[in-house]
Amino acid sequence: MFHSGGSKPNCAAPLFNQRDSAVTADRGRRPGAVLAVLIGVNIGPNLTYTGSLATMLWRRIIRQHDHTAGLAEFTLLGVLTAPAALIVAVVALWASLHALGG
């Protein structure tokens, strides 16, 4: 859960866009928290077909070009790639914060 500077969890943060989520996370925190939120709101929605507008638009473009890509294929790709991308991004963030002292 995201916390908004106070003691109450901010459960609505994922409903905002990336900028609003980053501003919510920035209240009294170090820059690493803001970057972690941005990683989550950019990679997390790719886990499911309906979580990302870009995914739905790509599926539409593929259909317009007479290619087939079913919901199961998109979901499988999301389930395989989103967690891996999230792990790589978090490790890179951790390493950069330790190297740069952030």
d(Cα 83, Cα 101) in Å, to the nearest integer? 26
pLDDT for residue 87: 93
CA distance 22 to 49: 24
Q: Is 43 inside any structural domain? A: yes
For residue 85, the model assigns a pLDDT of: 92
- Note the pLDDT tens digit of each residue in 32-42: 888 888 888 88
pLDDT in tens, 64-85: 998 877 788 888 888 888 899 9
Paired with 2 in beta bridges are: 10
Is residue 68 assigned to a domain? yes
Longest C-alpha distance within the chain, in Å? 52
Of 3-12, 51-60, 61-70, where does mean pLDDT reach its minimum?
A: 3-12
Residue count of the chain? 102
Q: Where in the sequence is the domain holding 92, given as residue range(s)?
A: 30-100
Q: What is the pTM of this model?
A: 0.60
State how many domains the chain has: 1
**Residue 25 belongs to a domain:** no
